[in-house]
Structure 1
Amino acid sequence: MVIFIHGLWLHASSWEPWITLFAEHGYEAQAPGWPGDHDTVQATRDDPGSLAGHGIDDVVDHYAALIAELPGKPILIGHSFGGMIAQKLLGMDLAAAAVAIDAAQIKGVLPVPLTALRSAFPVFRNPGNAHRAVSLTAEQFRYAFGNAIPAEESDALYEQWSIPAPGKPLFEAAAANFNPHSPAKVNTSNQNRGPLLLMTGGRDHTVPEAITRSTLKQYRHSSAVTDIMEFPDRAHSLTIDSGWREIAEAALAWLKNQSL
């Protein structure tokens, strides 16, 4: 079983091409939404209040409950904050393996590049957004997600998949290194967890390569498999844009190498 976990500003249905591809390779796959997500993009846009106020722990608990109903540990594939959630669940021994794609920064990661701050500015500009759901404009989406693809493609992806996102996880991640009990803390020293693959896009504004490489260093005290894979010309839209198959097939090849 493979569970796909989306990040902020994308609906779970954006994983549909991945689910189809993984099914063709023999995997049973699903992409449950976050707490408050509706079944469709439009329904979620129409009810942003249902997303507001949900933090990292809420999302982790939500997926942990779903995993508890499965007959065995799933493989987790997460993008952005979904990548952070996948790492937390892997560290809790709730997954057989995890692929974290352009994953949001976990506790202990120090680099905060200016592009990451600008990508998150629509949330950070108002402290009250910690309790709200915030939408991006098409222009903001192009900067945060679509900076490595044509503007027309970015705008089309925005119209197809973009939804409001709770601001709370961003504030929690930003304060992680000042909070000893931060929900962004991951058990990176777990020796017995399943393998982890970190994927990074070299042109990502939202989660620049420096964040992913710093994340890799957090796992230095664990002997469990921790790999990194870079796609130099890709940005934060790499799971949904016209080049998504390259990323998906790389994840499939890695899973095969792990005998999963």
Structure 2
Amino acid sequence: MSTPVLFIHGLWLHATSWEPWIELFGEAGYSPTAPGWPGDADTVEAANAHPESVADHGIDDVVDHFAALIAALPERPIVIGHSFGGMIAQKLLGQDHAVAAVAIDAAQIKGVLPLPLSALRATLPVFKNPANRRRAVTLTSEQFRFAFGNAIAEEESESLYQQWSIPAPGKPLYEAAAANFNPHSPAKVATDNQSRGPLLLITGGKDNTVPESVTRATLKQYRHSSAVTDILDFPDRGHSLTIDGGWRDVADASMNWLRAQGF
């Protein structure tokens, strides 16, 4: 039986943005799927037409949603997540819902202290209005360029924006921002789990939304676990690294690491 692989998107990207990865992993013998978040519409067009359907969904909602999907699978999957999907992947791995995880430019978990200025600017469209905690927020193409497409040509950034960008709930960002002041924060990950499967953290050196310093601080949070925790740096890549013209490099590196771990 082929190993299931569950792809988890982050804020502002639709689940169908994983389609090239699904094709690649399927051809390699895995059984890949990319379900949406709670409330996600089936298409980018429908998601943009009905932003209210994703509003007010927080981190725990998303984790519970994917945990329920995993429970229906024939075996525990590999989880691969990008941005907030990378945080969700880490939480699922820490809760032993997955056999391994790849977290790509993963959102800040509880305990991570660096808050670079570029990350603040990338998330300003949400934080500029406190009411956005309960709303869905849509990025403009200029905001998408700074948050996702800063390391690629402007034309490619605009194309990716038109193809994949959807509204995102503001609540997860507010939860992550307050994580270090909340002992019961949903952004807390079981980083001390000794028996969990292996984890690969991937960082883009030019990422404005989740700068490399955040990912390296995340790695330090796992220092109390003897389970495999690796990090891989793509120095010239931004937050769009899973969907832009260089996606295959990241996908191949992820698959090679998984095979090295025996999956």
Tell me how far apart the structure 2 counterparts of residues 175 and 246 of structure 1 sit (CA, whole Å).
Answer: 34
> Counterpart of 1:118?
121
Tell me how far apart the structure 2 counterparts of residues 50 and 58 of structure 1 sit (CA, whole Å).
Answer: 13
* Letter aligned with residue 207 of structure 1: V
> C-alpha offsets along residues 85-143 of structure 1, whole Å, 9 cap, x if unaligned?
00000000000000000000000000000000000000000000000000000000000
Pick from 49, 70, 73 the counterpart of residue 67 of structure 1: 70
Residue 162 of structure 2 aligns to a residue whose secondary structure is helix
> C-alpha offsets along residues 176-208 of structure 1, whole Å, 9 cap, x if unaligned?
000000000000000000000000000000000
Pick from 121, 134, 137 the counterpart of residue 134 of structure 1: 137
Superposition RMSD on alpha carbons, in Å?
Answer: 0.3
Tell me how far apart the structure 2 counterparts of residues 71 and 248 of structure 1 sit (CA, whole Å).
Answer: 24
> Counterpart of 1:155?
158
> Counterpart of 2:32?
29
- Quick check: 1:15 aligned with 2:23? no
> Counterpart of 1:255?
258
Pick from 194, 219, 225 the counterpart of residue 216 of structure 1: 219
> Counterpart of 1:203?
206
Tell me how far apart the structure 1 counterparts of residues 170 and 104 of structure 2 sit (CA, whole Å).
Answer: 20
**Structure 2: segments with no counterpart, 5+ residues:** none
Tell me how far apart the structure 1 counterparts of residues 185 and 129 of structure 2 sit (CA, whole Å).
Answer: 21
Residue 176 of structure 2 aligns to a residue whose secondary structure is helix
* Letter aligned with residue 202 of structure 2: M
Tell me how far apart the structure 1 counterparts of residues 166 and 140 of structure 2 sit (CA, whole Å).
Answer: 10
> Counterpart of 2:170?
167
* Letter aligned with residue 94 of structure 1: H
Tell me how far apart the structure 2 counterparts of residues 204 and 222 of structure 1 sit (CA, whole Å).
Answer: 27
- Quick check: 1:79 aligned with 2:82? yes
Q: Which runs of 4+ in 1 moved over 2 A?
A: none
Tell me how far apart the structure 2 counterparts of residues 124 and 36 of structure 1 sit (CA, whole Å).
Answer: 22
Tell me how far apart the structure 1 counterparts of residues 33 and 70 of structure 2 sit (CA, whole Å).
Answer: 12
Shift of residue 71, structure 1, vs aligned partner? 1.3
**Count of aligned residue pairs for this structure pair:** 260
Tell me how far apart the structure 2 counterparts of residues 131 and 111 of structure 1 sit (CA, whole Å).
Answer: 26
* Letter aligned with residue 88 of structure 1: K
Residue 146 of structure 1 aligns to a residue whose secondary structure is coil
* Letter aligned with residue 29 of structure 2: G
* Letter aligned with residue 177 of structure 1: N
* Letter aligned with residue 218 of structure 2: T
Residue 248 of structure 1 aligns to a residue whose secondary structure is helix
State the TM-score, normalizing by the size of structure 1.
1.00
Tell me how far apart the structure 2 counterparts of residues 36 and 154 of structure 1 sit (CA, whole Å).
Answer: 26
- Quick check: 1:3 aligned with 2:6? yes
> Counterpart of 2:239?
236
> Counterpart of 1:109?
112
- Quick check: 1:55 aligned with 2:58? yes
Tell me how far apart the structure 2 counterparts of residues 4 and 92 of structure 1 sit (CA, whole Å).
Answer: 17
> Counterpart of 2:103?
100
> Counterpart of 1:43?
46
**Structure 1: segments with no counterpart, 5+ residues:** none
Shift of residue 168, structure 1, vs aligned partner? 0.1
